[in-house]
Amino acid sequence: MNALRMLLLLVAAHVLAGCAAEATDACRGQLGGTLDSAMVDAESRLANGCGYEFERYFGELLTIAEANPDRRNAQHFSEFLLRQTAAGTISRRTAEGLYNRYFNIKFVSLQGDYNTCSQTCPVRARVLSTMQTELKDKELGLLRVSNDPASFYRADHLYKEAELVLEATCRACEAGNGR
Amino acid sequence: MNTPIRSTLLVLALVAVAAASAWPAPAAANSGPVVRLFPTNVLEDIRATTQVAEAMENSLQDIIRRMDMQQQLYTESLCEGADGDQGCERIARQIGATYLQMLEVMSDRLPQMEASVASTRDSLERRLREELGLRTTPTSLQDSLVGQSPTIAAESQPALRGRSGVRLSDRFKQYQELVTTGRNGQSQSLAVVASDIYLDMADASLLIAATRQEIARTALMEQLNQSFGVITPEMAKVVGGVKQILFGEVVGDGPIAAPPNAIGEPDYVSPLAM
């Protein structure tokens, strides 16, 4: 009797382990096909316990979209992110951060609620370096995924303007501190 | 730094200071922090600096033109390497004398110029610190930069610092236009214009100070050269640099022009957008 019970336990454990492995495999597979079908696939997986793979899915969706650039892709990504926010996979803040990082002219890296002298100037080099990295993401999102060169060039120009204005403003702030 | 470079930089600084002699009287200011970057006192400082600089620029142009003619005569007379030729030595001494005259003009006007540039720099510095540094957050600063039309005609934009290669007085004429149109809310951010002028003025102040220190030594060296009737390669370089700055038309790369938006296709605005 005991032997039978042990055997049943072993079988159950094996089945459970197999299911878990199957679920992991389901999460691991690469997304493919069109952007629409890949988004459906990703959403299905995210709804079935693959939330920890969100970042990878998002990156793969960008890669798929890059191969099929279209002005409407930004809207597709926005709607995808909103659905994931509603589903509770990611927070609203994360969704905003991702969308703006890739599809907005403005820089997420240049934000803050305190004055420029105190918040940005002490870390100006770091802020500009982060903006430079973000500009590369915008190149992917705006130029290569959305086929929107006008917006990308505007973002590029905004980066240069911000660099110039911060140089002058921070120099003026420092001069004021020295007096 | 050697003499010709310093001299060239001086002229760069001086022409930069000749910032738009006809800057308009301040019109009724719009609201918003950026417009307050150019209040009356800043424009008055620039106007005062310009009056000093204009006179100097005119004086230098005459001297440069004369030096150019003398240099041409020297070349056409095949004086290069013609040692011992009295005519050539006379031309060389004339060029040297004109060169000295250029240094004298600079020397006479530099103190006034230095004070005027410093005043303009300081007033812009104060406005930048107060308006952009202390009364603006990084978020609102970015908003003000993005605020203007995304498709500005390329020719209406000044090349950003370090990229222009354009004669400086032309650049300041662009600034003048931008300040005017910016006041009407139609063009590039005045924050960019103010920043560019401020940084140029700060550089000019340093260069003038450095040049004042060197000018006496340079004049002495040229006076020694006069004894031997020598045209040094340094002199030729300085003259070439000055000519390029005052009369040259070297056009640098402007910002890449953006293609127009597709007609009839409104831009999508995401609810996630900042």
Sign of CA dihedral B125, B129, B131, B136: positive
CB contact under 8 A, A103 and B270: yes
What ipTM was reported for this prediction? 0.82
CB contact under 8 A, A162 and B142: yes
CA nearest to A85 within chain B: B272
Interface list for A 59-98 with B (CB within 8 A): 71-72, 74-75, 78, 81-82, 95-96
Question: Which chain A residues are closer than 8 Å to B138 by Cβ?
Answer: 110-112, 116, 119-120, 127
CB contact under 8 A, B136 and A153: no
State the Cα angle at A100 between B34 and A120, rounded to 5°: 45
CB contact under 8 A, B256 and A165: no
CB contact under 8 A, B192 and A164: yes
CA dihedral B246, B242, B158, B199 (to 10 degrees): -130
Report which listed range, A81-85, B133-137, B164-168, is most confident: A81-85
Q: Is the pLDDT of residue B148 over 50?
A: yes
CA distances from A142 to A42, B260, B261 (A): 22, 15, 13
How many other C-beta atoms can be found within 10 angstroms of the C-beta atom of residue B239? 24
Instruction: Please name the residues in contact with A95: beta carbons below 8 A apart, sequence gap of 6 or more.
Output: A81, A82, A84, A85, B272
CA dihedral A76, A80, A83, A87 (to 10 degrees): 170
Q: Which pLDDT value is given to residue B246?
A: 46
Q: Which pLDDT value is given to residue A41?
A: 96
Nearest to A160 by CA among B155, B12, B259, B191: B191
CA nearest to A152 within chain B: B258
Nearest to B17 by CA among B112, B143, B102, B126: B112
Give the mean pLDDT of chain B.
68
Report which listed range, A3-17, A141-155, B47-61, B114-128, is most confident: A141-155
Give the model confidence (pLDDT) of B188-205 as tens digits.
578 888 898 899 888 888
* B130 φ/ψ angles, rounded to the nearest 5 degrees: -70, -45
* Greater model confidence, A119 or B182: A119
Q: Which pLDDT value is given to residue A14?
A: 56
Give the model confidence (pLDDT) of B71-103 as tens digits.
889 889 888 777 778 888 888 888 888 888 888
Give the whole-number percent of chain B exceeding pLDDT 90.
11
The CA distance from B4 to B23, in Å, is: 32
Instruction: Please name the residues in contact with A154: beta carbons below 8 A apart, sequence gap of 6 or more.
Output: A105, B146, B150, B258
Give the mean pLDDT of chain A.
90
SS3 of residue B229 by DSSP:
coil
Q: Which pLDDT value is given to residue B225?
A: 66
Of A38-42, B30-34, B100-104, where does mean pLDDT reach its minimum?
B30-34
Report which listed range, A34-48, B13-27, B76-90, is most confident: A34-48
Q: What is the mean pLDDT of residues B237-256?
A: 46
Q: Which pLDDT value is given to residue B143?
A: 92
* Greater model confidence, A50 or B165: A50
The CA distance from A176 to A179, in Å, is: 5
Q: Which pLDDT value is given to residue B108?
A: 85
Q: What is the mean pLDDT of residues B8-12?
A: 42
The model's confidence at residue A161, banded by pLDDT at 50, 70 and 90, is very high
CA nearest to B254 within chain A: A157
Q: Which pLDDT value is given to residue B21?
A: 30
CB contact under 8 A, A82 and B271: yes
* Greater model confidence, B262 or B200: B200
Q: Which pLDDT value is given to residue B150?
A: 44
CB contact under 8 A, A153 and B145: no
CA distances from A179 to B45, B71, B197 (A): 21, 49, 22
The beta-carbon neighbor of A172 closest among B129, B139, B262 is B129
The beta-carbon neighbor of B258 closest among A96, A103, A150 is A150
CA nearest to B122 within chain A: A172
Q: Which pLDDT value is given to residue B114?
A: 87
Shortest distance, CA B267 to any CA of chain A (angstroms): 9
